Structure 1
Amino acid sequence: MATDTARRAGRRGRRRFTRRDLAVLVVLLGIPVALDIVIIWGPTLASVGLSFTSWDGIGDIHWIGGENYKNLVDNYPPFWPAVRHNLLWLAFLGLVATPFGLLLAVLIDRGVRFSRFYQSTLYMPVVLSLAVVGFMAQLVLGTDQGVINTVLDNHENPVDWLGDSRINIWMMMLAASWRHTGYVMILYLAGLKSVDPTLKEAAAIDGANARQTFLRVVFPTLRPVNVIVAVITVIESLRAFDIVYAVNKGRNGLELLSVLITDNVIGEASRIGFGSAIAVVLLTVSLGFIVTFLVQELRGARDR
């Protein structure tokens, strides 16, 4: 009888999908996957293929092999400054904005007065697009009645915060960090709320101070949040476009790879093959950072 019961339970566990179940799967799973393939991976693979061609978007497509990449490295002056700016953007967000967001999350998690107000205020820039942040930066940093130059009373000789190629990239990174910090703060704040309080109590009993408790007990438990924050930081820094394009179309010291892609693909030149080569370089750099970090995190989780 026990055997018959187990067989009936097995048959119930292997229940066949009905047509309605299959229809629900197709709608809820198949359509999003199809859209992802068409909208994301389709253009991505097309860009990889077009990067080895010469095409203006209208005429015939001519296969030229790696000529676009050779010209990109050897004969395209804006390329290397754009690479440096993207890497500088990544370093600034990763080493300045992200730790600052973590610091704010820790302070708010400790229950400071008016923490709800601080949390809402610091998160508010996240709802703004970077294009809007760029326009706001123009109002604050502009030479013509800009807020900072007005406060400094530099009417006769105003500082060109956005036009001077030596400092404008730093101003744009500060503006982007204003938005990025709030995002990181919310992610870490959610992670800190999920930390088991008994871990902190045990560390206090063992004689650990607040700093030691955070570094040796709390922060290691935030590894899943660290992965998310790291991936978001890489994506945000390498896809930066709208904030610099809103200021001066990404020129005069604000060159980024995303701007070069736009200028070549939809600009007057219409060099779609050449622009696709820049897009492939940006994709490769992005995947290199993300895959390397995820592999290291997965190895660390497996070793534990």
Structure 2
Amino acid sequence: MYPFGKGKARLIPYLYLSIPLLLYVVFGFGPSLVTILFSFTDATGVRGQEWSFIGFENYKTFFGASNAGDRMDAIGRSLYFAFAVVIIQNAVGLFIAILINKKLRGDKLYRAVFFLPVVLGVTVSGLIWQLVANPLGGPAQSFLNFFGTSSNFFGDYNIAFELIIFVQIWMYMGYSMTIFLAGLQSIPSDLYEAGYMDGASGWKAFTNITFPMIAPAFTVNMLLSIIGALQTFDIIYVLTGGKFNTTTLAFDVYATAFGTGTADYGLASAVAMIQFLFVFTISMVALFYLRRREVEA
């Protein structure tokens, strides 16, 4: 039996599949190949200007002595950013999911409120927190002044990176909450009833029943948050533009291509490839470890 008929009609599914495949090749796979190619050239992106292959010179420049300090600082900030975001975002998301899963009154409203930052988008979220944290009469500073403190906490540039971490967590904790909530709601109630009969309640029930059963959701959340945190560029661009020691490796790609006053697509492409290998390696190590933990659980 042929659900799409016989003859030429059987080609209809392939026709439907060809459209998204073409879009992926043009806007996904194609640019990736161009990035690899450009990383071995001195291309500037200026129309009409000639470019040539220069081998691994861009990669040597990235790891060169003149830039080593700045590059290592950017990599260090990327790791610090990812570590803080992944741990806190998933911990908060899991905590909220557990509360909502208890069938509280108005749980749908709470779910919508916590998921709202995901819907708002990066630009809107960034502008909101720029307004809130404005040291010159912003709501947060006014709140501190209301209690008689003269602290210029939000005017301290040394906490700019921590504020970016906070905003990143605020934006995506609702996403983590949703995935954890789906995992929690898939746990059969019979398991808890059997656990209670064996004396497992509270923390013991969480560690022996809940956490092992949501291991797949935990793996998904951890992997998505690791990749997302290491690739974060947009919120840094909106909030600080990379100033005040907030540049990460992902932001360095943009800064190299456009932020120096002269376009350098070749070097920026090399940085992008290093960024890809950086994210890919950490993600694969994390996935291998988390999958092993799933089996053990």
Task: Give the TM-score, by structure 2 length.
Answer: 0.88
Matched, 1:231 2:219: no
Residue aligning to 2:144? 152
Q: How big is the shift at 1:89?
A: 1.4
Partner amino acid, structure 1, of 2:66: N
Q: How big is the shift at 1:232?
A: 1.4
Among 182, 188, 191, which residue is 2:183 paired with? 191
Among 80, 83, 98, which residue is 2:90 paired with? 98
Matched, 1:290 2:290: no
Looking at structure 1, the residues matched to 244 and 117 of structure 2 have their Cα atoms a distance apart, in angstroms, of: 26
Identity of aligned residues (%): 26
Residue aligning to 1:5? none
Matched, 1:26 2:18: no
Name stretches of at least 5 consecutive residues in structure 2 with no aligned partner: none
Name stretches of at least 5 consecutive residues in structure 1 with no aligned partner: 1-11
Looking at structure 2, the residues matched to 109 and 303 of structure 1 have their Cα atoms a distance apart, in angstroms, of: 25
Please list the CA deviations of residues 264-288 of structure 1 after superposition, one character each: whole Å capped at 9, or x if unmatched: 2244321001101111111111111
Q: How big is the shift at 1:292?
A: 2.5
Matched, 1:279 2:272: yes
Matched, 1:42 2:33: no
Among 148, 161, 169, which residue is 1:177 paired with? 169
User: Aligned in 2, Cα 1:129/1:78: closer, same or farther, shift over 3 Å?
Assistant: farther
Looking at structure 2, the residues matched to 163 and 135 of structure 1 have their Cα atoms a distance apart, in angstroms, of: 18
Q: How big is the shift at 1:92?
A: 0.9
Q: What does 1:177-256 align with in structure 2 at a 5 Å threshold?
A: 177-256=169-248
SS, match of residue 45 in structure 2: coil
SS, match of residue 177 in structure 1: helix
Looking at structure 2, the residues matched to 232 and 53 of structure 1 have their Cα atoms a distance apart, in angstroms, of: 32
Looking at structure 2, the residues matched to 34 and 199 of structure 1 have their Cα atoms a distance apart, in angstroms, of: 47
Looking at structure 2, the residues matched to 302 and 289 of structure 1 have their Cα atoms a distance apart, in angstroms, of: 20
Q: How big is the shift at 1:95?
A: 1.2
Looking at structure 1, the residues matched to 8 and 232 of structure 2 have their Cα atoms a distance apart, in angstroms, of: 45
Matched, 1:60 2:55: no
SS, match of residue 113 in structure 1: coil
SS, match of residue 153 in structure 1: helix
Please list the CA deviations of residues 177-229 of structure 1 after superposition, one character each: whole Å capped at 9, or x if unmatched: 11111111111111111111111111111111121122111221222212221
Looking at structure 2, the residues matched to 115 and 169 of structure 1 have their Cα atoms a distance apart, in angstroms, of: 33
